[in-house]
Amino acid sequence: MQVRRTGVYTLCAIVMMVAVVATTVGAEEQSAGEAAGAGQRLRDVEAPPAVICGGCVTPTFAGEGKGSIVPYGRIELDGIYSNRNTNPLDPGQFNGYATAAGKSSNASSTLNPRYSVFGLRADRTDGTHSLTGVVEADFYSQTDNAGNISPRLRLANVKYSPNNSRTTITAGMDWTPIMSSHPNLIDFSIMGYNGNLWQRLPQITVKHQFNENVNGLLTVMRFERGLSAIQPQTQRRTFQGAGAAAAAPGSCGNSGFACSENAFNDPVQMPYVGTRFAYMGTGDQAGYMVALNAAFRHYRSAPTAGGIPAGNDINSYLVGAEFAAPLTSRLKFTGEIAYGQALGVEFFRYGQERNLGTGKPIRTVIGWGEFDYAYDRRLTLIAGYGFDNPLNSDLRGTSAGVDTQYVLNHRTYLTAVRHIWGDLYASLEWNHLMSEWSTGEHFAGDNFMLSTWYNF
């Protein structure tokens, strides 16, 4: 009996050993297979790198991070009534927005659909790295042609952060990062020429968040070569040439954008170099903001068709501050103050940077302030004032006619914004413009807007 039991135990032990050996062999065979697969993967990794196509549109590294693409836009119609030619500084846009009070005593009205916007936003992140790309267009193209309202590039930029948005690099066309606060009014000029320094510019900007409250940035920015031809006083460096290439400034007539002589010989070679440091309140100080700004650019002025003296060193600079403060849970104050010299197209001050008689740069003091009041969840009321006050001494000797260069340009405005339903809104706005021109003439004008828009 004992022998039989021992035999059974022995048989069981033999069966278990066979099973273990079989399992081990299978595991070794599987490991060999896995090793072969690993070798294949290693060979894949070590394969020669593919050439990256610099001009292609198709994404190549779509597997890095998770992404999304979101279309968005704005459909708007502005009913505008204005008197005293309230856009003399940009006559190509007629009464699509307000810039100053002009000499004409006639009134005008229009229905303006130009501030309709369409954009695409693409985001991608892996939790640490992040990419955001934006392409946006509106319909404020070069001229006011009601039969052919063409789109134009409004924004086109990419923002990249390697450290979860602590440091962000922006490259492309974006809002000016210097003096970046804006008044909350409907008029498309965003109070350009009246105290608000703004533009949308090609730029490279590096922004860093030092802590929860403090951030700073460095930027280089400018219009692309030749776009300064939009100014009435296009500058062009002298050059060697023959035939059409040697034509005098102004020979391009009104085709400043299409004239390669103007574009390639623009005297502005240096971009603006700027910086901004801001404090943003948190906790009990949420809503408070103070920012300090500075920017500089140098170029040597070139001849113009109007014979403005050239060869001057133009040192364009800007120093300024922004501030915001919540006065109550419903009422806040926002504003800017700045001092600068030779501030022109990059700050929505076309034709205001140089004395048209002497060619010397013009200094100016600029600022605006605004109260925003949330009456209830559906109605916001806004009241503000802005001014652009060049130094009178810098405008002595100018040859500018009326509606060209001003010694003081300011406005007050009242705005009511009403939420209708969903993202449909309506607004009523009154802008009162007061302008003192270098000719000594004073004018005042009013611009009324009744607008409706749908954000999607």
Say which range, 44-48, 262-266, 333-337, has the weakest mean pLDDT: 44-48
Q: How far apart are CA 431 and CA 417, in angstroms?
A: 15
pTM of the full structure: 0.84
Output the pLDDT for position 402. 82
Q: What's the mean pLDDT in 279-307? A: 94
CA distances from 116 to 138, 174, 187, 291 (A): 6, 18, 13, 31
- Number of neighbouring beta carbons within 10 Å of residue 231: 17
Name the CA dihedral angle for 141, 100, 317, 293, rounded to a multiple of 10 degrees.
-90
**What integer pLDDT is reported at residue 257 of this predicted model?**
53
Give the angle 334-316-208 at the CA atoms, nearest 5°.
55
Q: Higher-confidence residue: 66 or 253?
A: 66
Q: Is 274 exposed, middle or buried (0-12, 13-18, 19+ CB in 10 A)?
A: buried
Check whether 168 has a pLDDT greater than 50.
yes
- Report the pLDDT value the prediction gives residue 264, as an integer from 0 to 100: 78
Please give the backbone phi and psi of residue 311, each rounded to the nearest 5 degrees, phi first.
85, 15
Hunting for tokens 């949330």 — which residue is that? Answer: 374
At 387-445, the pLDDT tens digits run: 999 999 999 988 877 889 999 999 999 999 999 999 999 999 999 999 999 999 999 99
Contact, 344 vs 352, CB < 8 A?
Answer: yes
pLDDT in tens, 89-141: 987 776 789 999 999 888 999 999 999 999 999 999 999 999 999 999 999 87
Give the pLDDT confidence score for residue 149 in this predicted structure.
Answer: 85
In this predicted structure, the answer to whether residue 1 has a pLDDT above a threshold of 70 is: no
- pLDDT at position 241, please? 59
Spatial distance between the Cα atoms of 209 and 166, rounded to a whole number of angstroms? 5
Which pairing describes strands 272-280 and 214-221: parallel, antiparallel, or unpaired?
antiparallel
Fold of 68-222+268-455: Porin (2.40.160)
Among 356, 384, 352, residue whose Cα is nearest residue 190: 384
144, 80 Cβ separation under 8 angstroms: no
Burial class (CB in 10 A: 0-12, 13-18, 19+), 140: buried
Q: Averaged over 259-286, what is the pLDDT? A: 90
Q: Whole-number mean pLDDT of the chain?
A: 86
pLDDT digits (tens, 9 = 90+) for 15-42: 444 444 444 444 444 444 444 454 455 4
For residues 163 and 61, give the distance between their C-alpha atoms in angstroms, rounded to a whole number: 19
With a cut of 50, say whether residue 243 has pLDDT above it: no
In the predicted model, is pLDDT for residue 245 greater than 60?
A: no
Inform me whether the pLDDT recorded for 383 exceeds 80. Answer: yes
> Percent of the chain beyond pLDDT 70?
82
Contact 326, 300 (CB under 8 A): no
Which whole-number Å values give the CA distances from 170 to 158, 161, 164, 174, in the listed order? 6, 9, 15, 8
